[in-house]
Amino acid sequence: MVSGSTVQLLPLGRTLVLPQGAALREALFEFGVEFPCGGRGRCKGCRLRVLAGDLAITADDRQRLSPVELAAGWRLACQARVSGDLTLEIAQWEAAVLGDQSRITFQPRPGLGVAVDLGTTTLAVQLLDLATGNVLAVATAMNAQAVHGADVMSRIHFAVHENGAGRLHDLIRRQIGGLIAGLRQEAARDEAIVEVVLVGNTAMQLLFCGRDVHPLAQAPFESDELDEACFTGAELGWSVTAEAVVRFLPSLGGFVGSDLLAGILATGLAEVKSLSALIDLGTNGEIIVTNGGRVLCASTAAGPAFEGARISMGMRAATGAISEVTVREGSLVCRVLGGGEPRGICGSGLVDAVACGLELGWITSTGRPASGEAVLLAGDVELAPRDIRELQLAKGAITAGLRLMVEQLGFTPGALERVHLAGAFGNYISRANARRIGLLPFPPEQIEPAGNTALLGAKMVLLRTVDFSTFWEELRPRVEHVPLNEDPRFHEVYVEEMGFPSQRLS
């Protein structure tokens, strides 16, 4: 039986119960904590301080933190595992906003603000003190619309064919209003909430704003109502001032929404001078590629393999999931989240398992298990031939999309100098194994796990770290949506990209 540890997070006053041995990184990521170096123990950006209880000092802690800091209880959150009850202070939430110190400059102003990452699956909401930039309270929740379909297409189907747009619109507005009221109460602050900034994919934007989603139900999947939407607190009836401005940032095109626009802001992609990309690996893989001039954006249906769905023993990255697989002396060694018996495998474990299978010769470059049978991983968890196929479909969609976009700019994928990976999956995936399976065929040092760039970008707008109007005015004419589904070469390249490299890339 797994025993739990109580972990109190300050300054939020939030209490979590985590299994013994659980990685804090996984638990804190959900609250919008950033891991600027992708949790590799290199940047100190994820520091926390132990106020009560005990967190073992790791080798990376010793390397990055001074003896004085260690003695004062500072540890790297990305390296820490829970071994008893704890009270922790998250440095990032005290010291204003972003993990990347170079972008911390913001314009203080009175009042409170709220940043919302409105995802198809989950919502992340942060209440901020606009005078200090401190995060005062955080809430995450499953998107209440999920009862009407897990993915974007089923929500659109419900809206269009079952007359459900109004229902979805009401559900999400009510849910976000409720979360904001909860955050206000939790933070117990008197100041008014003066601004709310929301980001999300195009369907989330249209549904929240009460705009027509029909164009997303059929080719060419382009809506002409993607502009920024502004509401007042009075219109929404939320617990913000009546004059508070509630802004849903503009979408980029097709299914590529303001969450990716926020990602461009958070990664500084609009200013780069060399060929760079931002990839959000999800059911809808979203890709931005720029050479410093044009900014191409596209989405590609990768399927849910990266989220552990449609995999025979797939699951989300939760307790019991195999999240890492390595090879030791010719055998597979699996790391299970929370310790204990494996119950299934999540996306990062899947990428690892296939990479290890390729290395051991248990899986061929065409994706077939050499034995013709499922590959046993640990306990009862195994990898069926069709699971490998699902990963190939996801990988093929992303790499084909990326390749065609890079080619449109006159380059080959090998010319990419920097690839930012957005989202939780981007933080956990092994870059070496993503390279081994050909998903991200770049040297690991060129891949930058960028965390929740959607929430980060929303906070940057809220805190005026950038003048959003000027930023958007400059960026907008450079943005081109690439409808990959209409590209006659897409299918051919997709099939080509489904295979795995026969050997480790040098």
Interface residues toward ligand FES, by CB under 6 A: 35-37, 39, 41-46, 76, 78
Measured from the CB atom, the residue of 36 and 200 that comes closer to ligand FES is 36
Where do we find the tokens 């060129």? 446
Task: Give CA–CA dist 118/168, Å, rounded.
Answer: 13
State phi, psi for 372 to the nearest 5 degrees: 80, -5
Q: Which is nearer to ligand FES, 44 or 155 (CB)?
A: 44
Interacting residues of 436 by C-beta distance below 8 A, sequence separation 6+: 355, 358, 359, 500, 501, 504, 505
Q: Which residue has the CB atom at the shortest distance from ligand FES?
A: 78
3-class SS of residue 227: coil
Least distance in Å: CB of 24 to ligand FES? Answer: 10
Q: How far is the CB of 40 from ligand FES (least distance, A)?
A: 6
Compare residues 43 and 405 and give the one whose CB is closer to ligand FES: 43
Answer for the pair 56, 39: CB distance below 8 angstroms, yes or no: no
35 and 427 Cβ atoms separated by less than 8 Å: yes
User: Which residues, at least 6 apart from 501, have a Cβ–Cβ distance to it below 8 Å?
Assistant: 358, 365, 436, 437, 438, 441
CB-wise, 40 or 294, nearer to ligand FES?
A: 40
Q: How far is the CB of 26 from ligand FES (least distance, A)?
A: 13
Burial class (CB in 10 A: 0-12, 13-18, 19+), 411: middle
Q: How far apart are CA 235 and CA 252, in angstroms?
A: 26
Closest approach of ligand FES to the CB of residue 10, in Å = 19
Q: How far is the CB of 427 from ligand FES (least distance, A)?
A: 9
What is the rounded (10 degree) CA torsion for 100, 101, 102, 105? 110
User: Strand, helix or coil at 95?
Assistant: coil
**CB closer to ligand FES out of 86 and 378:** 86
Q: Which is nearer to ligand FES, 296 or 317 (CB)?
A: 317
Q: How far is the CB of 34 from ligand FES (least distance, A)?
A: 8
Residue 19 Cβ, how far from ligand FES at the closest point, in Å? 21
| Cβ distance to ligand FES smaller for residue 76 or 458 | 76
